[in-house]
Amino acid sequence: MGEALRQGCASLPGEPAHREVAMIGEEQWGEVHRLFTVERWSKSAIARELELDVKTVRRCLRHAAWVPYQRAPRPETLLTAHAELVHRGAPEVG
């Protein structure tokens, strides 16, 4: 598979677990569906080929159309009221 398809991978090898990485992109989602419906590959074979977790492949196949990832809104915290002050002062620190 092309390198462009692997760039949208949800779990890249060698990336630290605490680091945020890009989620599966529309092109890679389409490739998962093509391999499953047209080429009749198994979910595990698709996962191996595209270097995805098999659970990610299953999740892709549950949706009839690509749905971009959207982060849940952040909950209010004690610092929310002071966010502007914190962000303004941050460049001055250092």
Share of the chain above pLDDT 90, in %: 44
pLDDT tens-digit map of 7-23: 444 444 444 444 445 58
Average pLDDT (33-38) is 97
Is the model's pLDDT at 42 over the cut of 90? Answer: yes
- CA atoms of 25 and 7, how far apart (whole Å): 8
Q: How many residues does the chain have?
A: 94
pLDDT tens-digit map of 53-69: 999 999 999 999 998 88
Q: For residue 77, is it left (φ>0), alpha (ψ between -120 and 50) or beta? A: beta
DSSP string computed for 65-84? S-----PPPPPP-TTGGGHH
Confidence band (pLDDT; 50, 70, 90) for 79?
confident
- Angle at CA of residue 75, ends 74 and 77, nearest 5°: 115
Quote the pTM value. 0.57
